[in-house]
A and B are shown apart, each in its own frame.
Chain A
Amino acid sequence: DAGVIQSPRHEVTEMGQEVTLRCKPISGHNSLFWYRQTMMRGLELLIYFNNNVPIDDSGMPEDRFSAKMPNASFSTLKIQPSEPRDSAVYFCASSFGRGGNTGELFFGEGSRLTVL
Chain B
Amino acid sequence: KNEVEQSPQNLTAQEGEFITINCSYSVGISALHWLQQHPGGGIVSLFMLSSGKKKHGRLIATINIQEKHSSLHITASHPRDSAVYICAVNSGNQFYFGTGTSLTVIP
Q: Taking beta carbons and an 8 Å cutoff, which residues of A are in contact with B?
A: 33, 35, 42-45, 48, 55-56, 58, 89, 91, 93, 100-107, 109-110, 112
Contacts and interface: CB of A to CB of B under 8 A. Distances in A.
B43 A103 contact: no
A43 B43 CA distance: 11
Contacts of B94: 45, 56, 58
10 tightest Cβ-Cβ pairs between the two chains A and B: A56-B93, A107-B43, A45-B95, A43-B97, A104-B48, A105-B45, A42-B99, A101-B30, A102-B90, A104-B45
Nearest to B29: A101
SS class of chain B's interface: helix, strand, loop or mixed?
A: strand
A101 B97 contact: no
Contacts of B52: none
Given A42-B99, A42-B100, A43-B86, A107 B93 contact: no
B42 interface: yes
Interface string B68-96: 00000000000000000010101001110
Chain B contact-residue range equals: 20 to 34
A43 B88 CA distance: 9
A105 B33 contact: yes
A105 B98 CA distance: 16
Nearest to A55: B93
B39 interface: no
A48 B94 CA distance: 9
A101 B88 CA distance: 13
Contacts of A89: 41
Interface in B19-53: 30-31, 33, 35, 41-45, 48, 50
